[in-house]
Amino acid sequence: MNSVTEGFFSRLMKILIFIFVGFVLFGSYYIFQFRGLKYAESMELAQLARNISIGRGYVTSCIRPVDIWYLSDMPSYAFQAQSCPDIRNPPFFPSIVSMAFKVVKPAFTLKPGSLSFEPETKVIIPLCILFTLMTGMFIYLVGVKLFGWRVAVVGVLVFFLSKSVLDESISGLPSSLLMLLVSAVICAALSFREAYEGNKPVRFMVLLFFIAAMLSAAIFLTSYKMSVFIPLLAFFMVSGFLRRSWHVAGAFLLVVLIIISPWLVRNLKVSGNIAGIAHYSALYETALYKNYSFDHECSPTMNNTKIARALKQKFMTTFPEMCETGLRTIGNGLIICLFLVSVFNKYEREEVNHLKWSLLVMLLLVAAAGAIFPAGNSNVFIPFLPLVILYGVAFFFSIIDRDEFADPAWKITFAAVLVLLSALPLVFAFSSRRVASPYPPYYPPFISYVSNLLTHEETICTDIPWATAWYGNRNSILLPATIDEFKKINEGKARMAGLYLTTVTGDMPFNSTFVAGPMRSWLPVLNGNVPKDFPLMHGITLPEGRNDQLFLTDKDRWARPSVGAGSASGSSK
């Protein structure tokens, strides 16, 4: 009895030490490296979470002209900026963040002169760090099931000391949640296989089956691109040993479809398509629409022949780049090399080989999806980094377990060297302490000041609508491609009381954008020569003496501003 008690307390102490060290590591990285959200996607998802938490429902304050065009085709729908449904982002991540908002109750108002925003520092980043720590737990469980405790422990250490992992944990992106879900569903799938081989009770197998299905549904509702992962997971769960395996795999996919069907029905009802407008993101960075210019369009021309040709050209160019550079940059180069070599290694246990080949096909399919649909600010392969690390570490141990490294001391030394080499980028990041500021263009005091010049009922037009929606809590419309389209929206859809332009527009290539490009009508406005018939004639520039940002409105709304430390004031025009 004492030995059992001692064993329990020993395991408990190890878990507590693991949690403490993890929080110290991630907390230190957060303190030294986090200077606010810097990605458009993270801000857009954050404002969605806030809207859910305050009872507005799944509506967005970040609106694009192409969204207005798409929703206008819905019968009996009248566009309102105050209640615009989100039709492009899956709901799982913002829903979890919204629940955390309800529990913590952070202040959504930026304190004057402060660069720290409570919802980020008290909810979003700690939540992403928690997801990453939980991922480490599942890496250990999967590692033990597949390769044993040595690989599991070293795999967790390599994962936690990877700079890319810590960067994702303070990004505010859903990538940390995706890593957790992928690791958890693989653990559930392995447990399902073990339960079948061990003749466990049917009820236990059914429970694991439904847990894996719910986790798979959560993966889809976090990232649509990850839908290619689910059929391969179903194949892995039943491959090589289960009678009538295709029937079980089909039932698994059916259960996943049933779980996600309410969301698909919601999209169909709101937008007329089960994916909303998300499928049109394939047009980004094509020959038809450079970068993200498609979002600025009020009435895009849909020529199927041209679209098919542009998508083919995009895929043929981007897919090889994804395979060549994308996988190589998700983590430490040594681990990635070990993983790639491990693909050619045959393991004794069949489930290890099945998962290896399934993982390889998953990576290829995700690369294909990422080549068509934008990867956003996160590496499209990052959800699979835990598995990549485990296979890389397992292959490393298979090398040092050979006779020439028979001395256990040498094995420990080589394992320590592998961990240290994986941690080198992190060590350099801590030692340099040079953190890139989100400005330009994101400076919360400027954004908050400009937004507060408008009332909550008014709408602002800007080239960073995700930022004004998040930091300013104002309904924000992305800058249309032309002044004529701005007037069309302003007169027929939503009256815009302010125009806020930043270096996002000012730093665009001059000739291809403003001389012969689609946004040439905005050049006089950027130069301070506002057309006489433009509805917004009163202006201010920020910061004083630099004119990085321009704010135009319909009337004189300000005294000389004071929006931050130092020279964070503007000059009126």
**Number of CB atoms found within 10 A of residue 210's CB:** 14
For residue 377, count CB atoms less than 10 angstroms from its CB and return exposed for 0-12, middle for 13-18, buried for 19 or more: middle
- How confident is the model at residue 468, as a pLDDT? 96
Q: How far apart are the C-alpha atoms of 246 and 248, rounded to whole Å? A: 5
Q: Which two tokens stand for residue 128?
A: 């992403």
Q: Which helix (H) or strand (E) holds 553?
A: strand 549-553
- Residue 562 is classified by DSSP as -
Q: Which of 214, 234, 210 is nearest to 222 (CA)?
A: 214
One-letter amino acid for residue 71 of the chain: L
Q: Which of 182, 159, 134 is nearest to 390 (CA)?
A: 159
- How confident is the model at residue 260, as a pLDDT? 97
Backbone angles phi, psi at 477, to 5 degrees: -115, 130
* Nearby residues of 372 by Cβ (< 8 Å), 6 or more positions away: 282, 311, 314, 315, 318
Q: Which of 274, 252, 253, 271 is nearest to 262 (CA)?
A: 274
Q: How far apart are the C-alpha atoms of 550 and 540, rounded to whole Å? A: 6
- How confident is the model at residue 356, as a pLDDT? 93
- How confident is the model at residue 569, as a pLDDT? 41
Can the peptide bond before residue 543 be classed as cis, meaning omega within 30 degrees of 0?
Answer: yes
CA gyration radius for the chain? Answer: 26
- Residue 84 is classified by DSSP as P
Cβ 90 vs Cβ 221: under 8 Å: yes
For residue 324, count CB atoms less than 10 angstroms from its CB and return exposed for 0-12, middle for 13-18, buried for 19 or more: exposed
Specify the length of the chain in residues.
573
| HSE value, Cβ hemisphere, 13 Å, CA-based, for 145 | 23
**Number of CB atoms found within 10 A of residue 103's CB:** 10
Q: Per residue of the chain (573 residues), give pLDDT as tens.
A: 455 555 677 777 777 777 788 888 888 899 888 989 999 999 999 999 999 999 999 999 999 999 999 998 787 677 888 889 999 999 999 999 999 999 999 999 988 777 889 999 999 999 999 999 999 999 999 999 999 999 999 999 999 999 999 999 999 999 999 999 999 999 999 999 888 888 888 899 999 999 999 999 999 999 999 999 999 999 888 876 656 678 888 999 999 999 999 999 999 999 999 999 999 999 999 988 988 889 999 988 888 899 999 999 999 998 888 887 777 777 777 888 899 899 888 888 888 999 999 999 999 999 999 899 876 777 889 999 999 999 999 999 988 887 666 677 788 888 899 999 988 888 888 887 677 778 889 999 999 999 999 999 999 999 999 999 999 999 999 999 999 999 999 998 889 999 999 999 888 887 777 777 778 889 888 888 888 889 998 888 888 777 889 999 988 887 544 444 333 344 455
Can the peptide bond before residue 440 be classed as cis, meaning omega within 30 degrees of 0?
Answer: yes
Backbone angles phi, psi at 61, to 5 degrees: -100, 0
Please name every residue paired with 571 in a beta bridge, in sequence order, or none if there are none. 541
- Report in angstroms the alpha-carbon separations of 200 from 204, 234, 240: 7, 20, 18
**Number of CB atoms found within 10 A of residue 253's CB:** 16
- How confident is the model at residue 410, as a pLDDT? 80
> Which string of b and e fits 272-292 if b means at least 16 CB within 10 Å?
bebbbbbebbbbbbbebbbee
- How confident is the model at residue 7, as a pLDDT? 64
pTM of the model: 0.92
